[in-house]
Structure 1
Amino acid sequence: MNAFDTLKQVIEGRRTTKPAQMNGQKISDEDVKEILALADWAPTHARTEPWRFFVLTGDNLQKFCEHHADLYWANTSPETRTETKRDALLNMGSKASHLVISLMRRTPEAKIITEEEYAAVAAATQNILLGATAKGIASFWSTGGMTHHPAMKLYLELKDEDLLMGLLYLGYSDEQKEGMRKIPLDDKIIWV
């Protein structure tokens, strides 16, 4: 198989696997380090390399889920919060092996617009998801819960110009998912 076919297979094989569908099997820290090394090769304007990652596993992953659920409960109005949502956040990491918190760290002296820095971190995050797929690891890029709430930014001690991109749950799953797209590719491309 040539390099394009291998890359195509990995990209087309990437699936979102929710943490509840993971089986609790642990990933080696070495595999996670190799996956994170792929993130470091994302495109970056002016070489600002704005991606940063917190990696949590074991008790620290569970503590984060507890804090996430507490943040949700404390920062959501009693009229809209639900115990079901709180419990879901509390248990997000129960079957995941690792949680990678992906964030954008701005370089104030660089004159790169936020959208370009955001795109660079999104590309780095996609590299993580593709690396996980290539290693047979299931992944879920979550932007739900309190991910984009100021309380989470404060909890993680992020700077004002930093941006939390998402929570990447990594683990193994016994389920195989089929891929699909709703809009035909030809409807998304205009040849000029």
Structure 2
Amino acid sequence: MEKPDFNIEEVNKIIRGRRSMFVAQFKENDPVEDVIIQEMLENANWAPTHKLTEPWNFKVFTGEGLKKFADFQAETYKERSTKTGNFIEPTYQKLKENPLKASHVIAIIMKRDLKANLPVMEEIAAVAMAVQNMYLTASAHGLAAYWGTGGPTFWPEAKPWFGLEEEDMLMGFFYVAKPATDRWPMGKRRPVGEKVEWVRG
């Protein structure tokens, strides 16, 4: 295979231009084409992975699937919080309504290969890099997207529903939609020099 001829200016532009856009910024009832979601997932599949374990797995909710996901997380929240006396109606409504405002909601799943004998941190990092590839692809298409760890991310009851084994991990949800505005969010970072120490000898 010949060495690829990358355009570094475009690489820099997409990395530094990537942004999170949230539900309030979503354009509702105008779905993103599945072919774009498939492209995002294909790019996710090319993330770095130690020992080629490829621990990333995705469950994509769209159409009526969004309601199925929304109902699961809302009703599970209601059941959990009622037992502890911490039920909050606005939280319930948010869990029931927010997924329906997205075009696609992608569950981010880390499935461990225990035979590979890798530190769990490496597998989590591999999945996170896969999600970054999805983020960059979504931004390149001008889409609104964000990765959140709300809802059932850390609920033990969610593991069976998502088909996870005990050693696997639900790592949140990637929401995708068309943006409601043409305005792109401003970015803000502290200078990288504040976070780097060079050791030259």
Residues in 1 aligned to 2:46 and 2:186: alpha-carbon distance in whole angstroms:
28
- Alignment equivalent of 2:98, drawn from 79, 89, 92: 92
- Alignment equivalent of 1:16, drawn from 20, 43, 59: 20
Is residue 2:185 matched to residue 1:177?
yes
State the match for 1:103 in structure 2.
Answer: 109
Residues in 2 aligned to 1:135 and 1:39: alpha-carbon distance in whole angstroms:
15
Residues in 2 aligned to 1:9 and 1:79: alpha-carbon distance in whole angstroms:
48
State the match for 1:69 in structure 2.
Answer: 74
Is residue 2:198 matched to residue 1:188?
no
User: Amino acid of the residue matched to residue 186 of structure 2?
Assistant: E
Give the TM-score, by structure 2 length.
Answer: 0.89
State the match for 2:3 in structure 1.
Answer: none
State the match for 1:58 in structure 2.
Answer: 63
Residues in 2 aligned to 1:98 and 1:129: alpha-carbon distance in whole angstroms:
13
Is residue 2:49 matched to residue 1:49?
no
Residues in 2 aligned to 1:169 and 1:8: alpha-carbon distance in whole angstroms:
24
Contact 1:36-1:128 at 8 Å conserved across structures: yes
State the match for 2:33 in structure 1.
Answer: 28
Contact 1:141-1:168 at 8 Å conserved across structures: yes
Contact 1:75-1:151 at 8 Å conserved across structures: no
CA displacement, residues 23-80 of structure 1 (integer Å, 9 cap, x when unaligned): 0221111111111100011000000111101111001112201111111111125543
Distance 1:89-1:99 versus aligned 2 partners, 3 A rule: same
CA displacement, residues 74-120 of structure 1 (integer Å, 9 cap, x when unaligned): 11255433111111111112221111111001112111111111110
Contact 1:103-1:165 at 8 Å conserved across structures: yes
Q: How many residues of Structure 1 are paired with residues of Structure 2 in the alignment?
A: 190
Q: CA deviation at 1:20?
A: 2.9
Unaligned runs of 5+ in 2: 1-5
* Same amino acid, percent of matched pairs: 37
Contact 2:54-2:126 at 8 Å conserved across structures: yes
Residues in 2 aligned to 1:137 and 1:172: alpha-carbon distance in whole angstroms:
5
The DSSP-based 3-state class of the residue aligned with 1:157 is coil
Is residue 2:105 matched to residue 1:112?
no
User: Amino acid of the residue matched to residue 98 of structure 1?
Assistant: H
User: Amino acid of the residue matched to residue 151 of structure 1?
Assistant: E
State the match for 1:3 in structure 2.
Answer: 7
Question: Deviating runs (4+, > 2 A) in structure 1?
Answer: 76-81
> Bigger radius of gyration, 1 or 2?
2
Unaligned runs of 5+ in 1: none
Residues in 2 aligned to 1:11 and 1:164: alpha-carbon distance in whole angstroms:
25
Q: CA deviation at 1:4?
A: 1.6
State the match for 2:168 in structure 1.
Answer: 162
CA displacement, residues 111-152 of structure 1 (integer Å, 9 cap, x when unaligned): 111111111011001111111111111101010122111111
